[in-house]
Structure 1
Amino acid sequence: MMRRRFTTACCSALTLALALGTTACGGDPVTAAGGGGKDLAGKTLTVAGVWSGAEQRNFQKVLDAFTEKTGAQTRFVSTGDNVSTVVGSKIEGGNAPDVVMVPQVGVLQQFAARKWLRPLSEKVGKSVDAGYAPVWKEYGSVDGTLYGLYFKASNKSTVWYSPEALDQAGVKPPRTYEEMLAAGRTVADSGLPAFSVAGEDGWTLTDWFENVYLSQAGPEKYDRLARHEIPWTDPSVVRALTTLSALFSDDRLLAGGRKGALATDFPGSVEKVFGPKPGAGMVYEGDFVAGIAATEFGRKIGEDATFFPFPPVGTGAAPVVSGGDAAVVLKDGRNQEAAMAFLEFLATPQAAAVWAAEGGFISPNKGLDLGAYGDTTLRATAKSLVEAGDSVRFDMSDQAPAAFGGTKGAGEWKILQDFLRDPSDPAATAARLEAAAAKAYRTANQG
């Protein structure tokens, strides 16, 4: 499949830099493990994370760059969505990975509370202070101690679409949420379902909710709900669920209807829009949609696959929701030196440039040259996220205890899947969400 890259000259410079330790694409020399050389030869670093498919292959290029620089061999272990459960079992079994790429703030906090994590080195801390907006250090810290380095971020307020599908229906990218639903109905009337919804993966449904809620309720309420300072039975939650029900209850708008949506995972939702047999005109998710559309289906980002910002709901402002994967070092890992050296490497713009070249990736590191991104569309999403600074709101479910916001078949993921199956009673769904949240937060606070 075609892979979107930045210019050949810059790509060649990056390859040479990784091999020889010289300058990559205008940045500083690639350094790790105390300044270069094969000083970790003979070590094997085990890294665990949720990624699979194209994301795993692209991250492997980052691991390969670390190996080329330091001599350390690497092994990636895919955890699936249940990171907390898988990592906990490995620790108990005496087979802990050295580094975990944690996709939820709540899981990072849980790991820290269980004394599983090693504080990051002074070198990592200085890199974060110099290259990241303060919000990213805040999300990576627990009680003032830095445990997590956010290597991969995402702009989760993007709706991706096929320009051909919208052109054939005679509609333009909408400016409001209400216009988006109206445009979807017009697309459906033209013979193509409007939205491909990945209901099999409950986390995508939390993202739908969060964008609607942030726009309708505003950032202050969003922060309070994220901290569970207001209950999920609050009228603002019921209102957001009611707004979502207008989409979820209209089978014309959903590829395969609600039943089809519940049987579609995230990669499958992208395939329905950008695959060889299009089955929908639009798919909502983060900027990482582009990586799959380009890598798996040969789409040219910005031309036959592009996006519009998630539109504002009613009189609210357009939402900007982000997510991210933080690298943490486990105390029980067998290769502490290699693990910390790897995080020191991940904190450099050059490490981020490796994945940025492949697409489906945004770095929160301000030091990464925007020219490293392989196309103007991703460059724009990266620029908007970095320039948003501390005004970005982190994915709400990722801030919750894993039992509520990050576990397959349980908590918010399961309840919103049930809501997609039957969206007729938003108030009852809100009550179920509050019961699950209260239990999860109570358990988390008890240790």
Structure 2
Amino acid sequence: MRRTGRIIRKRRSPDNHVTTPRSRPAVRAAAALAAGALALSLTACGGGDDGDDDKGGGTGGTENTVTLPELDGASLEVAAVWTGAEQANFKKVLAEFEKRTGAKVTFVPAQDPIINFLGSKIAGGAPPDVAMLPQPGAVRQAVEKNWAKPLGAKARAELAENYSPGWQDIGTVDGKQYGVYYKAANKSLIWYNAQVFENAGASEPKTWDELLTAAQTVYDSGVTPFSVGGAEGWTLTDWFENVYLSQAGPEKYDQLARHEIKWTDPSVTEALATLAEIWGKKDYVAGGASGALQTDFPASVTQTFTGGDQPKAGMVYEGDFVQVNIGETEAEVGTDAKVFPFPAVGDAPPVVSGGDAAVILEDSEAAQALVTFLASPDAARIHAGLGGYLSPNRNVPASAYPNDVQRKMAKALVDAGDDFRFDMSDQAPQAFGGTPGKGEWKALQDFLKNPRDIAGTQARLEADAAAAYGN
């Protein structure tokens, strides 16, 4: 299950890698999203409506805002790496499309890396009609392999109506629109067990030093501070990106994302040393390094919110989608499970985002209709109401989200407009930033196991990056 920034508009470099303009003021990006993120402190937030419906995810709209064709007898396959509740919720969106068109839609569970999965399906002559691709690099790769088909006029019209130019741009390759970013994420949040914090006398931190203080306070109360889903390397890249963005700053972040500076750069040394203050601290990670490396992402969440005030850990880092997994426990978001923005390591707190784009592989009226539906507020409204989901669609009403927490997160995302930074590993070639057991995922898993080996980790990261980027 690949999860999907700090928000900034992307362009393409001559070598086809995703790039970001150097001239865009980083402070504006930070202010737009950080201001929204800072409103996410859940001390006073529960599941009720705060009466602010028109100020959240968009401008509202009627129940059905898009006209869909009659597709009786048509069948479609949609592939995604989503599992568990995330998959179940998406299937409810697909069920509404079936109801409105008469088409039959089958969800096809995919494995990471999804490009490899799709390659095998295409080689076997059975590609899915639509795939949800979790990286801009994967969208470009699908285009370069002649797998992806351009969006039709109706899908493009929905995008123009509902999405900011920046979100349209990251689904564009060589001037043609291929992707609809149906799902987005704010990946700069730390969730905590409220009873653990209350018992320990810990408070929500705003800086890295305050986070270390809170962790020690939780530890002194008898609870391990952090749960880390190290079995899935993407969670570790997200940890690194938040520390690096805040500490090194957006210019360096952009340069490292493009491999214009090496992973042996002193700024990377500093970020890894900072991570080691948690990953390398004895008894700060549930199960130790070996236990964390056997803990997948869902378990890293559920073990933080089960066991009452004696869970396996007091805090877990990851994005807004953590709510889906909290829903599998008895904890309630806003009361038992609360959240604070990832603390500032440097001058400003980081906000990192990502997303999943719907891309057509088998062009047909039905496939075009489905992607048009996914670009509309209608589809996003259904998914939003189920929790654990954010849409970059600016015309999804705030009232669609089930609680004040998600309304604030959606507002922060939409209010950022075109000022956003995307997940760094998602911008990298998939061989480096998106493959289990390889590249950045594997190097950071090894670093979690041995946080003293900063120089060796940097050397491995640089060797793998150089091979993947071809420089």
Distance 2:154 2:252 in 1: 36
What is the rounded CA distance, in whole Å, between the counterparts of 2:421 and 2:301 in structure 1? 24
Give how far 1:100 is off: 0.4
Q: Distance in 1 between matches of 2:110 and 2:130?
A: 12
Mapped partners of 1:339, 1:438: distance in 2: 38
Q: Assess, with a 3 A threshold, how the Cα gap between structure 1 residues 350 and 181 changes in structure 2: closer, same or farther.
A: same
User: How much does 1:236 deviate?
Assistant: 1.0
The match for 2:341 is 309
Q: Matches of residues 24-423 of structure 1 in structure 2 within 5 Å?
A: 26-30=60-64, 35-36=67-68, 39-276=70-307, 278-294=311-327, 296-313=328-345, 315-330=346-361, 333=362, 336-423=364-451
Structure 1 position 198, deviation (Å): 0.4
> Is contact 1:41-1:71 (8 Å) kept?
yes
Q: In the TM superposition, what is the alpha-carbon distance from 1:26 to its structure 2 partner?
A: 4.9
* Runs of 4+ that moved beyond 3 A: 4-7
Pick which of 203-212 and 134-143 moved more.
Answer: 134-143
**AA of the residue aligned to 2:463:** A
Q: What is the rounded CA distance, in whole Å, between the counterparts of 1:65 and 1:387 in structure 2?
A: 28
Which one is further off, 385-394 or 261-270?
Answer: 385-394
User: Judging changes above 3 Å, is the alpha-carbon distance between structure 1 residues 31 and 336 closer, same or farther for their aligned structure 2 residues?
Assistant: farther
Cα drift, residue 380 of structure 1 = 1.1
Following superposition, the deviation at residue 203 of structure 1 comes to: 0.2
**Deviation digits for residues 84-130 of structure 1 (CA, Å, limit 9, x no counterpart):** 11100000110100000001111111111111111111222222223
What letter corresponds to residue 175 of structure 1 in structure 2?
A: K
What does the per-residue CA deviation read over 1:274-295, in whole Å, with 9 as the maximum and x for residues that have no partner? 134621111000000012112x
Deviates more, 1:59-68 or 1:426-435: 426-435
Deviation for aligned residue 1:419: 0.5
2:451 is aligned with what amino acid?
A: P
Shift of 1:82: 1.7
> CA RMSD, aligned part only?
1.7
Structure 1 CA distance for aligned equivalents of residues 330 and 260 of structure 2: 45
Q: Percent identity?
A: 54
- Measure, in 1, the Cα distance between the counterparts of 2:319 and 2:399: 20
- Asked whether the 8 Å contact 2:191–2:315 carries over to 1, the reply is yes
Structure 1 regions of 5+ residues with no counterpart? 8-24
Aligned residue identity for 1:30: N
Please identify which structure carries the higher helix content: 1
More RCO (CA 8 Å, sep 6+)? 2
User: d(CA) in 1 for partners of 2:307 and 2:387?
Assistant: 20
Matches within 5 A, 1:2-13: none
Instruction: Please give the secondary structure, in 1, of the residue aligned with 2:222.
Output: coil
Shift of 1:381: 1.1
Name the SS of the counterpart of 1:325 in structure 2.
strand
Aligned residues: 415
Task: State TM-score, norm by structure 1.
Answer: 0.90
Give the partner amino acid of 2:329.
F
- Give the Cα–Cα distance (whole angstroms) in 2 for the partners of residues 81 and 391 of structure 1: 29
Q: Does 2:452 match 1:424? A: yes
- AA aligned to 1:271 is T
Displacement of 1:202? 0.3
**Contact 2:78–2:108 (8 Å) recurs in 1:** yes
CA contact (8 A) 1:194 1:280 kept: yes
The offset of 1:390, in angstroms, is: 2.4
So what's the TM-score if we normalise by structure 2? 0.85
Q: Aligned partners of 1:228, 1:154: CA distance in 2, in Å?
A: 24
Q: Does the 8 Å contact 1:6/1:371 carry over to 2?
A: no
Counterpart contact for 2:47–2:333, Cα < 8 Å: no
Quick one: which amino acid aligns to residue 262 of structure 2?
A: P
Q: Distance in 1 between matches of 2:290 and 2:216?
A: 19
The structural deviation recorded for 1:299 is 2.6
Q: Secondary structure at the match of 1:47?
A: strand
